Amino acid sequence: MTAVASSIPPEWYLLLAAAVFCVGLFGVLTRRDALYFLMSVELMMNAANINFVAFALYYGDLTGQVFALFVIALAAAEVAIGIGIILVLYRNFGVTDVTVPTEMRW
């Protein structure tokens, strides 16, 4: 661990994570393509990872880092399932636009 990393106060990490999270959220709310959706979700997860790692550094234990590893593994699995869903979506509707398939409604 470098002295530079530990000399940065945790607020900066939190601000960075919040910024990344908001970028992901903005993507989810504005984009209509399912692939962008997936990528935005990925961004939001990584924002959470930044928080985990930052606090692990701040408190000096490894729990947060372990959690970050878990989240990365989870994200990999999520991408596999997400892409599968998008493939099925494309097969059934011919588009990857999430606003087109509105079959699951009242």
Written in H, E and C, the secondary structure of the chain is CCHHHHHCCHHHHHHHHHHHHHHHHHHHHHCCEHHHHHHHHHHHHHHHHHHHHHHHHHHCCCHHHHHHHHHHHHHHHHHHHHHHHHHHHHHHHCCCECCCCCCCCC
Answer yes or no whether residue 106 interacts with another protein by CB under 8 A. Answer: yes
Answer yes or no whether residue 105 interacts with another protein by CB under 8 A. Answer: yes
**CB of 98: closest distance to another protein in angstroms?**
5
Instruction: Report how far residue 51's alpha carbon sits from residue 10's, in angstroms, rounded to the nearest whole number.
Output: 9
Answer yes or no whether residue 86 interacts with another protein by CB under 8 A. Answer: no
Pick the closer one to another protein by CB: 4 or 29.
29
Binding mask 14-43 for another protein (x = CB under 8 A): -----------x--xx--x----x------
Pick the closer one to another protein by CB: 4 or 11.
11
Answer yes or no whether residue 98 interacts with another protein by CB under 8 A. Answer: yes
Q: Which residues bind another protein (CB under 8 A)?
A: 25, 28-29, 32, 37, 98-99, 101-106
